[in-house]
Amino acid sequence: MTDDVSPPRRPLTLRDVSEVSGVSEMTVSRVLRNRGDVSAGTRDKVLAAARDLGYVPNKIAGALASSHVNLVAVIIPSLSNMVFPEVMTGITEVLDATDLQPVVGVTNYSPEREEKVLYEMLSWRPSGIILAGIEHSEASRRMLRASGIPVVEIMDVDGEPVDAVVGISHRRAGRQMAEAILRQGFEQIGFIGTKMPMDHRARKRFEGFTEALAKRGMEVVDQEFYDGGSALKKGREMTQTLLERSPDIDFIYYSNDMIGAGGLLWCLERKIDVPGRLGLAGFNGVDLLDGLPCRLATMDAGRAEIGRQAARIVADRAAGVGTAGQRIVLEPRLQPGDTLKRYKD
């Protein structure tokens, strides 16, 4: 599904900062380039005006100062998470056929780090920005709106994008997984998640999941959260903790496949009947699941296709074709594997 909205505003200039701060463009330039003798009061006024406007100084010098470079900034939360290399593969497939080159910045799921990465990348005036997620600090949103370049937020469509957006509805994905679990007759359902305060997409899936349970008069009977990474070892530990605390649980929904795979391995070692006694499901559809003794139920969000669609939007806009504000919603695909189905649907 594709929709269009109004285009972003024109790029900001030194004159905009000059007008808001009440000092000359030359002084604004000296402050932002950290050159020359400027009073502390004047410097504070200029920096406050630039921050409020979302203005990022242009580091391209000389004849290139009014142009964009042939770089596409790709800003993602993590390089260790197996999800994002697949997104990068899709982006690279498309950009390889153009003059554009992706450059990657990593935020570690931190809004403050995202602001810094975004500021540095925008200062080089890339031809476009591809940015994971749709939740950002207000400072980041101001910079994106003021950049005057194509911005594509990816992975998530549950919210208001700055410009274009490509992804899935994670709330809908959570609801669909809950409905699939309930169709198989599971009733005592637990949840295990990592990085829940920072990973907005995992949080939205959990919200959709619990909403679907509530419609059937049910709720998650127990849950376990962890702030660290999505490791197999942590999945094993959290699965053991949850089941020792709530032994009647007959299904565990994991926020991602890595901890789900750890939980599955723990269950198989203890010869727990999966899915007869205990059903399991994760999220992402990562290739790692192909190497397990039995296949974990999961949901494929189409990460490579998200990357391809986002790169096409940037490449088209850089070439002077295409429209701003595109909204492309992909459908996640349920993969029941061997750990969900007790009965035929």
Please state the rounded mean pLDDT for residues 308-337: 94
- Least confident range from 1-5, 56-60, 99-103, 277-281: namely 1-5
Q: How far is it, in rounded angstroms, from Cα 335 to Cα 330?
A: 16
Q: 126-148: buried (b, 16+ CB within 10 Å) or exposed (e) per residue?
A: bbbbbbbbbbbeebbbbbbbbbb
For every residue of 202-266, which 3-state class applies, written as one string?
A: HHHHHHHHHHHHHHCCCCCCEEEEECCCCCHHHHHHHHHHHHHHCCCCCEEEECCHHHHHHHHHH
Please state the rounded mean pLDDT for residues 24-49: 82
pLDDT at residue 183, as a whole number: 95
Angle between helix 138-146 and 111-122 (nearest 10): 20
Question: ∠ CA 174-313-163 to the nearest 5 degrees?
Answer: 65
- Beta-carbon contacts of 133 under 8 Å, excluding residues fewer than 6 positions away, are 77, 153, 154, 155, 156, 200, 201
- Structure token pair of residue 255: 């926020």
CATH number corresponding to 170-301? 3.40.50.2300
Is 281 exposed, middle or buried (CB count within 10 Å of its CB: 0-12, 13-18, 19+)?
Answer: buried
Residue 189: helix, strand or coil by DSSP?
strand
pLDDT exceeds cutoff 50 at 63: no
Residue ranges of the chain that CATH labels 3.40.50.2300: 2-12+65-169+304-332, 170-301
Cβ proximity of 243 and 217 under 8 Å: no
More confident site: 229 or 80: 80
CATH number corresponding to 2-12+65-169+304-332? 3.40.50.2300
- Least confident range from 28-42, 132-146, 163-177, 229-243: namely 28-42
pLDDT exceeds cutoff 70 at 345: no
Residue 125: helix, strand or coil by DSSP?
coil
The model's pLDDT over 184-225, given as tens digits with 9 standing for 90+, comes to 999 999 999 986 777 889 999 999 999 999 999 999 999 999
* 135-139, Cβ contacts within 8 angstroms, sequence gap of 24 or more: 135/159, 135/200, 136/111, 136/162, 137/111, 137/112, 139/51, 139/54, 139/115
pLDDT at residue 145, as a whole number: 92
pLDDT at residue 52, as a whole number: 85
Measure Cα distances from 215 to 16, 113, 172, 208 in Å.
Answer: 52, 39, 14, 11
